[in-house]
């Protein structure tokens, strides 16, 4: 006597496995290829420094590129608009009783004259502390 074997019925979940695999592969692809942080509006290459001590940057970061363009946060600003913002920010920090300090991220190709103009702008706005962002040389 010959026994006929029936194929087991495919389970309904088996059809979902390829879909789940594709979803996970897409998730991994977008996690790897996506941006992790926001893009800066201007490209700045800070100068090199041998100092290893690093302080935490202030909440107000100004970027200055080699062409003289300035950015605060993710927006390009003119010198006049920056001066108005700095005066308002300095007044707000003075009301809190804290010292108004900013972090300046200037490009290595910025001329000394342009940097001096920017520092004069900060001084006229009442900024008392300026921290310059640099890159470490990698020497011990």
User: Which pLDDT band holds residue 38 (cuts at 50, 70, 90)?
Assistant: low
Identify the residue with better confidence: 91 or 26.
26
Q: CATH number of the domain that 116 lies in?
A: 3.30.420
Its pTM stands at 0.60
pLDDT of res. 57 = 58
* CB 65 within 8 Å of CB 94: no
Kindly tell me the sign of the dihedral angle through the C-alpha atoms of 34, 40, 42, 44. Answer: negative
Q: What is the mean pLDDT of the chain?
A: 80
Which residues does residue 90 pair with via DSSP β-bridges, in sequence order?
none
Relative to beta strand 101-106, strand 61-64 is: parallel
Whether residue 131 is contained in a domain is answered as yes
> Is residue 43 domain-resident?
no
| Total number of domains in the chain | 1
The β-bridge partners of 48 are: 135
How far is 40 from 63, CA to CA, in rounded Å? 9
Question: pLDDT tens digits for 70-122?
Answer: 988 778 899 899 899 888 888 888 787 777 778 888 888 888 888 899 889 98
Task: Give the per-residue pLDDT at 133.
Answer: 81
For residue 100, the enclosing domain spans 48-136
At 88, is the secondary structure helix, strand, or coil? helix
pLDDT value, residue 1: 63
């Amino acid at each position: 006597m010959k026994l006929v074997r029936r194929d087991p019925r495919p389970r309904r979940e088996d059809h979902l496995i390829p879909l789940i695999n594709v979803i996970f592969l897409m998730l991994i692809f977008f996690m790897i290829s996506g941006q992790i942080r926001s893009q800066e509006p201007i490209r700045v290459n800070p100068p090199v420094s041998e100092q290893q001590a690093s302080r935490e940057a202030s909440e107000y970061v100004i970027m200055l590129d080699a062409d003289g363009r300035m950015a605060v946060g993710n927006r390009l600003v003119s010198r006049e608009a920056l001066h108005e913002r700095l005066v308002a920010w300095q007044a707000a920090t003075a009301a809190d009783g804290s010292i108004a300090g900013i972090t300046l991220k200037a490009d290595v190709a910025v001329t000394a004259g342009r940097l001096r103009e920017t520092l004069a702008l900060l001084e006229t706005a009442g900024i008392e502390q300026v921290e310059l962002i640099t890159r470490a040389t990698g020497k011990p």
